[in-house]
Amino acid sequence: MDEQKKLSDIEEAAAALIANSEDENPAYKSINKQKSATSEEKNDKKIFKKYKIKDIVFLAIITACTLITGAVMPLLVNVPFFGIVQLGLGLQFSIFPVIGMMKVRKPGALLFQSIFISVFLIFMFPPMALIIVCALVSETLALLIFRGYKNDWACVFAGTLYMPLTLPLMWLYYNAFYTVTGEEKAATSMFLGGANPGVVVGISIAVVALCFVGSVVGMLIARELKKAGVLKK
Residue 76 CA to residue 222 CA, distance in Å, equals 29
Residue among 107, 214, 106 nearest 159 (CA): 214
Q: Is residue 43 part of a domain?
A: no
> Mean pLDDT lowest for which of 113-117, 167-171, 173-177, 196-200?
173-177
Q: What is the pLDDT of residue 108?
A: 92
pLDDT tens digits, 134-160:
999 999 999 999 988 889 999 999 999
CB 192 within 8 A of CB 82: yes
Q: Is residue 194 part of a domain?
A: yes
- Sequence-distant (6+) residues with CB within 8 A of 190 are 80, 81, 82
Whole-model pTM: value is 0.73
Residue 37 CA to residue 155 CA, distance in Å, equals 25
Q: Is residue 71 part of a domain?
A: yes
Range of the structural domain that residue 56 is part of: 51-227
> Mean pLDDT lowest for which of 11-20, 84-93, 95-104, 220-229?
11-20
What are the CA-CA distances from residue 93 to residues 19, 139, 149, 166, 224 (Å)?
61, 15, 18, 12, 19
Counting the structural domains of the chain, the total is 1
pLDDT tens digits, 60-112:
999 999 989 887 877 777 777 778 888 888 999 999 999 999 999 999 999 99
CB 158 within 8 A of CB 118: no
Q: Is residue 40 part of a domain?
A: no
DSSP 48-112: S----HHHHHHHHHHHHHHHHHTTTHHHHTTS-STTHHHHHHTTHHHHHHHHHHHHS-STTHHHH
Look over the chain and give the mean of its residue pLDDT values, rounded to a whole number: 78
CB 167 within 8 A of CB 86: yes
Is the pLDDT at 167 greater than 70? The verdict is: yes
Confidence of residue 228 (pLDDT cuts 50, 70, 90): confident
Q: Is residue 157 part of a domain?
A: yes
Q: Is residue 100 part of a domain?
A: yes
> Mean pLDDT lowest for which of 81-85, 151-155, 161-165, 170-174?
170-174
Q: What is the pLDDT of residue 218?
A: 95
Q: What is the pLDDT of residue 28?
A: 44
Q: Is residue 2 part of a domain?
A: no
Q: Is residue 11 part of a domain?
A: no
Length of the chain: 233
pLDDT tens digits, 108-140:
999 999 999 988 878 777 777 888 999 999 999
For the residues 50-60, what does the mean pLDDT come to? 92
